Homo-oligomer: A and B are copies of this chain.
Amino acid sequence: MTGKFSLGPVDVEVPPEEQFARFLQGKGKRFTPQRRLVVEMVFSHHDHFDAEELLEHLSELIAQRRVSRPTVYRTLSELVEAGMLRSMNLGGRSVYEHAYGYPRHDHLYCQRCGRLFEFHSERLDQLREAVAREHEFQVTGHRLMITGVCRHCRDEE
């Protein structure tokens, strides 16, 4: 729990638990201890996380029998639905990252070590719009993944 919260009228950041609770309420759903656990776990580290990290943490929870695997999956879907997580697909498994309180970004994927690096590009937004206009497409989002080898891995050779 490292979130920064201010009480000013402008920069109030709603903590994830609260945000999620509201979302659930709006759907007539409950904010149960299990869902709370998953949200806390997921938003306890502020870096973006990949499948391995996530599953590691989650399996701890599962091992402790504090939440079951199906509930974890269900809650992750709800978090995506709530717009608090974004999911992508890497090698057949789902990878999640915070979509909440984080700037939009895309990824560099190192095929050697599997690490993900973030970047943001204004030009990409422009490009996206240009392409959409040309194809009369109503854009809702995009996903760009640049694959290659990171500096770290190249140094190791």
Q: With contacts A92-B89, A137-B151 known, is A119 near B146, CB below 8 A?
A: no
CA distance A92 to B92 in the complex (A): 6
Residue of B nearest to A94 (CB): B92
A82 at the interface (CB under 8 A from B): no
Interface size on A, residues (CB 8 A): 34
A140-B132 in contact (CB<8A) = no
Instruction: Mark each residue of chain A from 126 to 157: 1 if its CB lies under 8 Å from any CB of chain B, else 0.
Output: 01101110111111111111111111001000
CB pair A149 B145 closer than 8 Å: no
Residue A37 at the chain B interface, CB threshold 8 Å: no
Complex: chain B residue closest to A110, CB-CB: B137
The reply to whether A137 and B108 contact each other, CB–CB distance below 8 Å, is yes
A interface list, Cβ under 8 A from B: 89, 92, 108, 110-111, 117, 119, 121, 123-124, 127-128, 130-132, 134-151, 154
- A127 to B131: give the CA distance in the assembly, Å: 15
Q: How far is the CB of A90 from chain B (nearest CB, A)?
A: 8
Across-interface contacts of A130 in B (CB, < 8 A): 121, 123
Q: Do B108 and A131 touch (CB < 8 A)? A: yes
Contacts of A108 in B (CB 8 A): 131-132, 135, 137
Q: Which of A110, A127, A149, A150 has the most CB of B within 10 A?
A: A127
